[in-house]
Amino acid sequence: MIDQNAVLLFITVALASAVEATEALTIILASGITRGWRSTFEGALLALACLAVIVGVAGTALIYYVPLYALRIVVGTLLLIFGLQWLTKAILRQTGFKAPHDERDIYDKQVATLSKEKGILRGQRDSLAFAISFKGVLLEGMEVIMIVISFGLANGSQGQLGTAALAALAAVAVMTAIGAVVAKPLTKVPENYMKLGVGNLLTVFGLFWMGEGVGVQWPLGDIFLLVLLAIIFLATLGLTAYFKRVHESLTEVEQ
């Protein structure tokens, strides 16, 4: 029988990782095309190695040394904060109060900046390309790591960490393959819809685990996750519709 929690976990981690991978890919492409691929790849690979070490060390340490209830409080609180941040921004973008996240625009700005900068050549390495790529992959990857570790450990089973890591790797591999084929920023990715979806899922899991951590008895046990998902999803739809109308009326007033 398919574990409903594991499926939701896989989808959440994969979607969140795909969004972050799209952003990291934009930085890598801008750096690789303007400064050269070798140093860009070296920076990205070093960042990936650092991220793998963080997952291994932090994951193992948390499993063995932190009690499950404490883990759920910390993980739930972090996920709830992340989820609400993603959700708020996605609603603001969806209703027109915030400009959409335009990968093409970000890419063009990065290319313009990187073309002007001089960078220091050490041997065969372009320090600027290396640093930009390393920093971009590490920062975008940190959010994925937080999600992988949180989802992997909150159920108190080491197997879930593997599922979460696998979901992240699969999403990153798919986005990288698409990026390698098209060799330009992935502007067609429906990033805001993905952020709305992931924001919903992170909020639901965050609230559920945070509640469990402090001792809240959710009715129906794990099945209540689906009830929570429906509540948050309906609230998102309602808020989006309401604030879209507000935005339209403000635009009319301004004209």
Partner 1 sequence: MPSGKTLNAVWKGVKSFFKFWKDFLVGDSPVLALGVIIILCVAYLLRGSAVLAPASTIILVLVLITFAVWQKTKARRRHAHN
> Which residues are near partner 1 by CB under 8 A?
73, 77-78, 80-81, 84-85, 87-88, 91-92, 97-98, 142-143, 203, 207, 210-211, 214-219, 224, 228, 231-232, 235-236, 239, 243, 246-247, 250, 253-254
Q: Which is nearer to partner 1, 84 or 106 (CB)?
A: 84
Q: Which is nearer to partner 1, 124 or 255 (CB)?
A: 255
CB of 177 to partner 1, least distance (A): 28
CB of 149 to partner 1, least distance (A): 14
Backbone dihedral region of 216: left (phi > 0), alpha (psi from -120 to 50 degrees) or beta?
beta
For residues 73 and 212, is the Cβ–Cβ distance under 8 A?
no
CB of 50 to partner 1, least distance (A): 14
The 3-class secondary structure across 186-211, one letter per residue, is CCCCCHHHHHHHHHHHHHHHHHHHHH
- Which residues are CB-contacts of 182 (< 8 A; sequence separation ≥ 6)? none
C-alpha gyration radius of the chain? 20
- Which residues are CB-contacts of 71 (< 8 A; sequence separation ≥ 6)? 62, 153, 154, 156, 213
Q: What is the DSSP letter of 128?
A: H
Q: Which is nearer to partner 1, 38 or 98 (CB)?
A: 98
Q: Which is nearer to partner 1, 144 or 186 (CB)?
A: 144
Q: Which is nearer to partner 1, 6 or 106 (CB)?
A: 106
CB of 252 to partner 1, least distance (A): 9
